[in-house]
Amino acid sequence: MIGVLLVLLLLPFLLYIAAPQIRKMLSSGVCTSTIQLPGKVAVVTGANTGARVYLACRDVQKGELVAREIQIMTGNQQVLVRKLDLADTKSIQAFAKGFLAEEKHLHILINNAGVMMCPYSKTADGFEMHMGVNHLGHFLLTHLLLEKLKESAPSRVVNVSSLAHHLGRIHFHNLQGEKFYHAGLAYCHSKLANILFTQELARRLKGSGITTYSVHPGTVDSELVRHSSLMRRIWWLFSFFIKTPQQGAQTSLYCALTEGLEVLSGNHFSDCHVARVSAQARNETVARRLWDVSCDLLGIPVD
C-alpha cells in the first residue's frame, strides 16, 4: 500500500522529468530544408526567412504581435499583417483584392486557420461555422488567389487538416448541420473536407506548376480548443506531451519548402512523411461532388 502511494506521489514528478523526451518522440517530424526564399511571397492564414510573409488573420492586433516576434527571431522585416476573417466571404474577397493589388507574385499559400468544437453557429454567409471557416473560407481564398499562384509557378498550396478526419463524413443532405449537429464531429467533417479539397485541387491543377498537400500537424498547444472547456482541461492535463507551435509547424514547412516534393502533389503528410488517409478521404466521387457543391455555395462558376 505504501509502495502504491509512493508511486502516485512520484508520478507527476516522473512525468515532468520524462516530458521532453516523450514530446520529442511524439514530434519526430522535422523540416530539414535549408532552401532560401529571397524574393518569394507567402500567405499564411490564422497567424494570430527571406520571403515576404503575409499573416492573414482575424485579429490584426494579435497578428502584429506575432509578426514582431517573427521579425525579432528571424531578422526578416518583411512580415506583414492583413485582416482576414474566414467566417465572412466579404472579408475574404477584400483581403484577396488588397493582396492582388499589392503583390505581383504568390509562391506559397498555407491554409492554416481553423475553428474546433464550436457551439452551433453560422458564419456571416449562413454556413455552419466549422465547414464555413475550415473548408469554404479556404476554398474561396484559394480560388481568388489561384491565378496569381499560376503566374508565380512553381508554387504550392498547403492545407492544414487533422488526424480527426478519420471520424469525418461528408453529409451532403446536412452540410450546414441544420438536421443534426455535434461539435466534435463537425470539426472532423471539415477536416475531411480539407483533404478532399486538396486531392481534387491537385487533380485539376496537374501540369500547371502548382502542387498541393494536406497535413496533420499533430496535437499542438494553440487556441484551437478555446471553444471547449473539456478539451482545454485535456490539453492542460497532457500539456507536457503536446507539441509546441514550432513543432506543429514542421510538416507544413516541409510541404511548403522541401525540394522534389512535386511528384507527391495531392498527398497527405504527418510528421514530414506521407500518411495514410481514411477510405472516405480517398473517395474521388465525393471529392468532385464536394468541389461542385462548394462552388455553388460560394457563387463560383463550376467548370
Measuring CA to CA, how many Å separate 53 from each of 40, 46, 67, 106? 8, 13, 9, 10
Question: With contact defined as beta carbons under 8 Å apart, do 74 and 9 qualify?
Answer: no
**CA nearest neighbour of 130 among 102, 164, 154, 104:** 164
**CA nearest neighbour of 59 among 106, 101, 91:** 91
3-state SS assignment for residue 142: helix
The alpha carbon torsion through 102, 55, 260, 273 (nearest 10 deg) reads: -160
Task: Just list the catalytic residues.
Answer: 187
Chain centroid to CA 73: how far? Answer: 23
Classify residue 119 by burial, with Cβ atoms within 10 Å: 0-12, 13-18, 19+: exposed
* Residue 302 DSSP symbol: P
Between CA 113 and CA 57 the distance in angstroms is 8
Identity of the amino acid at 258? T
Identity of the amino acid at 282? R
Name residue, grid cell 488573420: 57
Question: With contact defined as beta carbons under 8 Å apart, do 129 and 176 qualify?
Answer: no
Question: With contact defined as beta carbons under 8 Å apart, do 203 and 285 qualify?
Answer: no
